[in-house]
Amino acid sequence: MTGIQSDADAALAAMQDELDALRQEVAAWRKRYDAGEKRDLSFTNSAREVAPLYTPLDLEGSAGAALEVPGTYPYTRGIHPTAYRGRLWTMRQFAGFGSARETNERYKFLLEHGTTGLSVAFDFPTLMGYDSDHPRSEGEVGKCGVAITSLADMEALFDSIPLGEVSTSMTINGPAIILWCFYIAAAEKQGVRPEQLRGTVQNDILKEYMAQHAWCFPIEPALRLIVDMFEWGATHAPQWNTISISGYHIREAGATAAQELAFTLADGFTYVERGIARGLPVDAFAPRLSFFWDIHNDFFEEIAKLRAARRIWARHMRERYGAKDPKSWMMRFHSQTAGVTLTAQQPMNNVVRVAYQAMAAALGGTQSLHTNSMDETLALPTEHSVQVALRTQQILAYETGVPNVADPLGGSYYIEKLTDDLEREAESLFEQIAEQGGVVRGLENGWFQRRIAESAARQQWEIEQHRRVIIGVNEFVTDESLTIPLLKIDEAAAEQQTEALAKLRASRDNAKCEAQLARLRTAAKGNENVVPFILDCARSYCTLYEIRAALEAEFGAYREPVFF
């Protein structure tokens, strides 16, 4: 033992000598650096200060992820030991416009060109729980996504697409439980059982109150619906992700990388706490919780954010919530390139932005990826621009070598320091959220909304003052006219939807619909899980707004507080 101890002491002394020598070398370099001419590149896009050089000295007191391998707790380096050598990320393209029939054709086009998962974009009336012929839907039907008002539309949307074989992501929140039931009922029509279905419904209502504003019901009943989905899904749809806790919209609203990280994780912890409060064992539902991250312009910061997110989630799930199943510790997530970074000026530049953002997502270990199309800041994407966006992912996957090595930037002094810093800042923000009384109370008093607004204002000021360069917007500006074709959605979709709804109401069993809606209202008034009742309404061809109205009769409608 004495000899072993002596060898260890000698090794530590040698290491200390090397660090002391490095300190001297860095100090000498710093003098040369300070004396030279340089551009001011001292901050990330999130206003995080960046040093001009990183060395082992920056990681003193922290092993970073140096002692980890992929597929082991706390998963900083990835949740799968084989990383992308085992399976590439799922390539999704967010798509939806006009009628269900039109979008069905786009889905078939995407599947034919190599998309490996579908991602549904709904129009604004659907996002808010309104039928296409509702007065509040006027002028918006099919414009920013596909119009879905009943099981009939969902059947048309996936006509000839085998739901037992594809993975489907649905970006819907306020009325998520209703659209999910439409999907399950449509699968039943194809002979596919709920336990065979794979996919994700976004269903993250807390970030809606925080940033996106597509809500239906007040906070507490909305949270009840989400836990109902956790409970029902754990038993009946075990391969389905019943929530995708979304930082994407928080970041798009103007949050920094650290705020996106902390606010999203805090939302996730709130959902876990509500599930546990219902009496659900944490390991019964936590493995099906998934996340959704925005991949912004600052390449290294985004990679570090994803690594920090996995580590924080794993630690809190195991140590704070007592999860025993490693699947409950593993953060699985979808990523999307940042829509807010796309510019109407010089839209071809967006192809380059998206390519770098996609590479950051892959280097950060995403399980699923959507790449934005070059024209999405101007209109819904054309087939040509969607194909370019998909080819961007395919080139990244098959030509660059990026998927060959797990966490290839692990061990980078800069990446490890950024990962540690983002984790520390997130933990600090968790403490501030706790001081507000938690996420729900922070939403009610406007704390989250103010923090995001302050960050967004700072970023806009930086652009206007030319402190942040946006190519084609505030630097390298040209007078060139727009040269790319755009997809235009006319009012035909609204007319088709109105006619189809009239035929549906005339042909269905309206007495049965009323009876099912009455049963739903009774269930909503009590404590029963409402998923079976909504499913019965869907199977009877009750419409989206009819089901929303039945729930709203018991829950009330959400009215955003006014903050000063």
The backbone torsions φ and ψ at residue 372, rounded to the nearest 5 degrees and listed phi first, read -70, 150
Q: Name, in order, each residue with C-beta under 8 angstroms of 383's C-beta and a sequence gap of 6 or more.
A: 106, 109
Confidence of residue 505 (pLDDT cuts 50, 70, 90): very high
Which SS3 state, helix, strand or coil, does residue 266 take? Answer: helix
- C-alpha distance from residue 526 to each of 223, 229, 529 (Å): 15, 16, 9
Q: Quote the Cα angle for 158-379-212, to 5°.
A: 80
Token code pair at residue 509? 């069993």
Give tens-digit pLDDT for 399-449.
999 999 999 999 999 999 999 999 999 999 999 999 999 999 999 999 999
Q: 47 and 410 in contact (C-beta within 8 Å)? A: no
As a whole number, mean pLDDT of residues 227-248 equals 97
- C-alpha distance from residue 415 to each of 296, 328, 342, 439 (Å): 16, 26, 25, 29
Give tens-digit pLDDT for 303-353.
999 999 999 999 999 999 999 999 999 999 999 999 999 999 999 999 999
* Interatomic CA distance for residues 458 and 256, integer angstroms: 10
Tally of residues, the chain: 564
Confidence of residue 4 (pLDDT cuts 50, 70, 90): low
* Interatomic CA distance for residues 466 and 254, integer angstroms: 18
* Interatomic CA distance for residues 83 and 66, integer angstroms: 17
Q: Among 243, 104, 147, 32, which Cα is nearest to 497's? A: 147
What percentage of residues in the chain have a pLDDT greater than 90? 78
Residue 122 DSSP code: B
In the chain, where are the structural domains located?
83-464
* Interatomic CA distance for residues 287 and 297, integer angstroms: 30
Confidence of residue 2 (pLDDT cuts 50, 70, 90): low
The whole-model pTM stands at 0.92
Q: 425 and 262 in contact (C-beta within 8 Å)? A: yes
**So what CATH class is 83-464?**
alpha beta
Q: Biggest alpha carbon distance in the chain?
A: 91
End-to-end CA distance of the chain: 68
Residue 297 DSSP code: S
* Interatomic CA distance for residues 45 and 28, integer angstroms: 29
Q: Output the DSSP codes for 529-548.
A: -SHHHHHHHHHTT--HHHHH
Confidence of residue 5 (pLDDT cuts 50, 70, 90): low
